[in-house]
Amino acid sequence: SRPVRIAVHLHPYGDGRRLLLSRDITQLEQAEAMRRDFVANVSHEIRTPLTVLIGFVETLQTLPLSAAERDRYLGLMARQGERMQRLVQDLLTLSRLEGSPLPGRQDWVSVRELLRHCHDEARALSAALTQGARAHHIAFPDAAQAEAAGQVAGSAGELQSALTNLVNNAVRYTPAGGSITVCWEAQPGGGARFCVTDSGPGIAPEHLARITERFYRVDRSRSRDTGGTGLGLAIVKHVAQRHGAVLRVASLLGEGATFSIEFPAARLRAARELSAAGTA
């Protein structure tokens, strides 16, 4: 149990009496500490690529370089710029998600379309990361299964980004030649579960509980190499919560990981309900 912090204030009356006012500021202080941590993290995340970028500019200005060397430096500089761009993009997404509730009117989003888009992205990302080495084995539900999954109520953009994020992480953290399996399963009680299982390095128990925190990474350099901002899972968790869904992670070190999002029945419309409604 944590210590409780109480702020005490003595309010004077003119006649010499005093009123003792006390307030529990534990939560206030915790929120303030979190805010400070966050600002420190953001500053650090921006400063690192900026330092590299400025270093390259100075190199270009001072060293006589061949055209090929100059091109190489410009390429590296572009990568640092893109990294900052992704970071700002993710920060804006996170602040939007935290600042406003899901709009009352929502779309019925086709699960088949969500999965199709994830699949396309995963293949492209795998090709880009493995570059001629053995690609990943990527398995998705087949067309009939995807069709039967029906629709989810919510924001198409947010749902797509959450699902894509989990699948892309599986590709990014699984070495070339490894496998990634995506499922959409009906659950008892009418809910459904989206899951991504990979054959990657897995996550040790001491990290497991923390990896959805903003900027928490198990391996900073691996995350950076594959373009990570450290905000992806925090965004996925928010999107899940906003949709009444739950993000879960199961993993054993050295034995891959399974990330899943469990949607409640109230958010789902199965394909057979759709066709029943269509013929009614």
Provide the minimum distance between the beta carbon of 164 and ligand ADP in the complex, in angstroms, as a whole number. 11
Q: Please enumerate in sequence order all residues whose Cβ is within 8 A of that of 225, keeping only pairs 6 or more positions apart, or say none.
A: none
Options 111, 170, 245, 261; binder of ligand ADP; rule CB under 6 A: 170
Q: Which is nearer to ligand ADP, 57 or 204 (by Cβ)?
A: 204
- What are 96's two structure tokens? 């939007």
126 binds ligand ADP (CB under 6 A): no
Distances from the Cα of 204 to the Cαs of 101, 138, 256, in angstroms? 33, 24, 10
Options 150, 178, 191, 232; binder of ligand ADP; rule CB under 6 A: 232
Q: Please enumerate in sequence order all residues whose Cβ is within 8 A of that of 72, keeping only pairs 6 or more positions apart, or say none.
A: none
Which residues is 261 bridged to in the sheet?
194, 247
Site for ligand ADP in 130-169 (CB under 6 A): 169
Distance of alpha carbon 140 from alpha carbon 19, whole angstroms: 67
218 binds ligand ADP (CB under 6 A): yes
Options 162, 257, 261, 268; binder of ligand ADP; rule CB under 6 A: 257
Stretch that binds ligand ADP, among 12-20, 98-106, 145-153, 194-202 (CB under 6 A): 194-202
Q: Which is nearer to ligand ADP, 110 or 223 (by Cβ)?
A: 223
Stretch that binds ligand ADP, among 22-30, 96-104, 117-125, 216-224 (CB under 6 A): 216-224
217 binds ligand ADP (CB under 6 A): yes
45 binds ligand ADP (CB under 6 A): no
Stretch that binds ligand ADP, among 32-40, 96-104, 198-206, 260-268 (CB under 6 A): 198-206
* 230 and 181 Cβ atoms separated by less than 8 Å: no
Strands 6-12 and 18-24, by their bridges, are antiparallel
Which residues is 269 bridged to in the sheet?
151
Stretch that binds ligand ADP, among 37-45, 154-162, 232-240, 267-275 (CB under 6 A): 232-240
Residue number of the CB atom closest to ligand ADP: 228
User: By the criterion CB under 6 A, which residues form the site for ligand ADP?
Assistant: 169-170, 173, 198, 200-201, 203, 211, 217-219, 223, 228-234, 257
